[in-house]
Amino acid sequence: MRVLSGTKPTGDSLHLGNYFGALKQFVLLQEKYEDALYFIADYHSMTTVRDAELRRRYSMNVALDYLAAGLDPDRAVLFRQSDVPEVCELTWMLTTVTPMGMLERAHAYKAAKDQGENVDHGLFTYPVLMAADILLYHADLVPVGQDQKQHIEMTRDMAQRFNHAYDCEALVLPEPYIMDDTATVPGTDGRKMSKSYDNTIQMFAGKKALKKSVMGIQTDSTPVEEAKDTDTAVFQLWNLFATPPEREDMVERAQAGGLGYGDVKKELLSRILDYFAPMRERRERFEGQPKEIEEILRQGAKQAGAIAEPVLEGCRQASGLGRPG
């Protein structure tokens, strides 16, 4: 069973949504399955990031976040997507079996179009590149958040179409591993936490910045002495760091009245700081070792490339490209 997933390098550090929705599960799955690959989706970031230095910095940030969170290069293959450029060849092959209508139905494209954005071909083709990422490595299980589920369904569809077109089994159909089917980490404004909404709480922000984000979580104007609705962002975020008995206790405290939102926020802040402290330390240590990180990614690319090569060759042979094998 091979596990594979990727993260787009588009910011300075990951937020709580990325951690609880994705990274935490990556680490758990690396323990559960021997064969795991996690990459930095730098080709994908080209649809939004248009600056070389920024892309390099953001890519390094994903590597640091991966290592800080506990991904271990001895257990999982960590690599940069663009270090295995064969993925672009498979992307092309897949585009030729992908109906326009399928891509027109993709959420990300539809949303961008509805907002009147100038959509380029890269954004339109994004799901095909993502499918190639998965299919190139014969991945069986792809841990992703709910928002990526559609992309995995499209990936399966493309694999089936390719296999059918060339009457072969060159590509393996992956299964999504949906992390937290129902739970979406809320942002400071109560909507889904997302970079695009500017409502994030970053895992490794400095204490001051973290305090500002946490204190800025929107709450209603229920007076301190009245009961509080625990189905709101501040409590939902606090829950992420609490045990089930602690959560029950909090519900009781909230229902009893006398609990101020400010107190919950202070507790949340201290829990975030404690929870991420060991990871923050690890991240700081790796920050001083860029050469070691490059070496980890180089080794990772070598291992990933070795998996990719026969898969791509299988597709080339099946479709009659290149020298007959």
Neighbours of 140 (CB within 10 A): 17
Nearer to ligand TRP, 91 or 213 (CB): 91
> Is position 194 an interface residue for ligand ADP (rule: CB under 6 A)?
yes
> Is position 196 an interface residue for ligand ADP (rule: CB under 6 A)?
yes
> Is position 191 an interface residue for ligand ADP (rule: CB under 6 A)?
no
> Is position 25 an interface residue for ligand ADP (rule: CB under 6 A)?
no
Nearer to ligand TRP, 49 or 134 (CB): 134
**Residue 228 binds which entry of ligand TRP, ligand ADP, none, CB below 5-8 Å type-dependent:** none
Nearer to ligand ADP, 93 or 151 (CB): 151
Nearer to ligand ADP, 67 or 170 (CB): 67
**Residue 134 binds which entry of ligand TRP, ligand ADP, none, CB below 5-8 Å type-dependent:** ligand TRP
> Is position 22 an interface residue for ligand ADP (rule: CB under 6 A)?
yes
**Residue 17 binds which entry of ligand TRP, ligand ADP, none, CB below 5-8 Å type-dependent:** ligand ADP
Phi-psi label, residue 38: left if phi above 0, alpha if psi -120 to 50, beta otherwise: beta
> Is position 184 an interface residue for ligand ADP (rule: CB under 6 A)?
yes
Q: At 76, list the tokens.
A: 């999982």
Q: Which residues bind ligand ADP (CB under 6 A)?
A: 7-8, 17-18, 21-22, 144-145, 147-148, 184-185, 192-196
